[in-house]
Amino acid sequence: MRITKIETCVVEANYDWTIIKVKTDSRMVGWGEAFVAPGLAGVAAEFNDVLVGEDPRDVDRLCCLMRTAFGSAGTASMGLHAISGIETALWDIVGKSYGLPIYQFVGGKYRERVRIYADCHAGQGLASLSPVLLPRTPAWMSEKKRGKKAELNPKYHGGQKSEASAVKPGAYARRALEMKRRGFTALKFDVDVPTEYSLDDYNRALTRREIDLMVGLVAAVKKVLGKEVDLAVDCHWNYGVNDAIRLARACEPYDLLWLEDPIPPLNTDALKRVTLGTRTPIATGENHYQRHQFRELLEREAVDILAPDFQKVGGLLEGRRIADMADMHFVALAPHNISSPIGTMASAHLCAAIPNFLALEWHAAAVPFFEDLMLPRRSPMIQNGYLTVPDRPGLGVELNEAVAYKYRKRGEPFFDRPA
Ligand code: MG
């Protein structure tokens, strides 16, 4: 069997979902998904020159070739997003050609169902972000729902400055109750919200009143969730060491599942100071690539919970290696995931196959067509907070191309149709 073509489409959802299709001369195709980046379809297309004519079942060797091709050391991040998506598509082909589901090729199942935690963002509905993280209105949304052009707020991932007054504990509590009723056993909310109490957008400082407001959001959600549902919170790399510790300590009475990315991802020793400075568990990982970057986090004991994104770390096999390394340090994985059903299912196969798995993110609760993108359609894909991994060969789901076309991003190629 030989690879004949790598093609992509981009679905415009809450993020750009870049879907990879690897075609072969046996008419078998593989599906994967790559973590968002500007111009990613072009990067994936370049790998045609590397992979066409190769046997798609030589997964690890082909990833080595792609990493080498994309800068000789293979450390350039965007290339790894594309490689991750292509790697999943290769596993889909391996699974289909041997008649086995992907989880069998990354160790076999520890569990039938994968625990999902729902990302609830900042308590509101659909928030859609461009590849440069600017708030946007997707092309498929009606004109009357479109807002005016947004301004990037450096202190708030995915929001507008005008939203400060919209952040209310009541809205958080209502969203939490809705998701609890849907059966989730773990939720995550953003606490790095725009506030009226911020004195500076750039200095990574938190005022006392900001911390009080953030803790008020946590308290409102915990009151609704009780002891049955776990709560994690996300800070999107916004704060300095000292204020991150102040915030984490203020959250200690609420027994969070974790506090995510309190400081920027670039300094492991600084993160270690935060982790050692509080009883609140600290999580990071969605900005790290390949096993080498995770090795530093683990060996320096800088983190309590690891959150790699399998659509960007370099592939599912790379994810398995990261999980093994974390397990040697008795650290659990709560993988980051902002994907369509294709990437979510790929991550679920790996989550079923690693012992030290805690919960997998699901970020698409507000995307109305999420399940429509899958064939066969599974509705709901996530039941009572769990995703059952299918036993069908490969990924076990295909992309519904007609639905993907309806929600496609304009100006991007749609598989064999050019942009
Ligand atoms: Mg995060």
15 C-alpha vs ligand 1 centroid, how far in Å? Answer: 14
Average pLDDT of the chain? Answer: 93
E runs forming strands in 94-198: 113-119, 128-129, 135-136, 186-190
Asked if residue 234 lies in contact with residue 189, where contact means CB atoms within 8 angstroms, the answer is: yes
pLDDT digits (tens, 9 = 90+) for 261-272: 999 999 999 999
Angle, CA of 18, 114 and 83, to the nearest 5° = 30
Identify the structural domains of the chain with CATH numbers, from first to last: 3-100+399-406 (3.30.390.10), 106-395 (3.20.20.120)
Contacts of residue 176, defined as CB under 8 A and 6 or more positions apart, other chains included, come to 120, 187, 189, 220, 221, 224, 225, 229, 231
Task: Return the pLDDT at 160.
Answer: 47
pLDDT digits (tens, 9 = 90+) for 134-163: 888 888 876 555 555 555 566 666 544 446
Q: Comparing 244 with 380, which gets the higher pLDDT?
A: 244
Integer Cα distance of 326 and 417 in angstroms: 42
Read off the pTM.
0.95
379 C-alpha vs ligand 1 centroid, how far in Å? Answer: 26
382 C-alpha vs ligand 1 centroid, how far in Å? Answer: 20
Return the biggest CA–CA distance within the chain.
Answer: 63
**Average pLDDT of span 212-222:** 97
Task: Return the pLDDT at 153.
Answer: 63
260 C-alpha vs ligand 1 centroid, how far in Å? Answer: 6
195 C-alpha vs ligand 1 centroid, how far in Å? Answer: 19
Angle, CA of 117, 263 and 131, to the nearest 5° = 65
Is 262 buried (19+), middle (13-18) or exposed (0-12) by CB count in 10 A?
buried
3 C-alpha vs ligand 1 centroid, how far in Å? Answer: 35
209 C-alpha vs ligand 1 centroid, how far in Å? Answer: 23
24 C-alpha vs ligand 1 centroid, how far in Å? Answer: 36
pLDDT digits (tens, 9 = 90+) for 349-383: 999 999 999 999 999 998 999 999 999 987 889 99
287 C-alpha vs ligand 1 centroid, how far in Å? Answer: 9
The percent of residues in the chain predicted with pLDDT above 90, rounded, is: 82
* Whether pLDDT at 121 is above 90: no
Task: Return the pLDDT at 56.
Answer: 98
Question: Partners of 360 in the beta sheet?
Answer: 116
95 C-alpha vs ligand 1 centroid, how far in Å? Answer: 31
Asked if residue 83 lies in contact with residue 63, where contact means CB atoms within 8 angstroms, the answer is: yes
* Whether pLDDT at 300 is above 70: yes
Integer Cα distance of 8 and 40 in angstroms: 9
71 C-alpha vs ligand 1 centroid, how far in Å? Answer: 27
367 C-alpha vs ligand 1 centroid, how far in Å? Answer: 18
* Whether pLDDT at 46 is above 90: yes
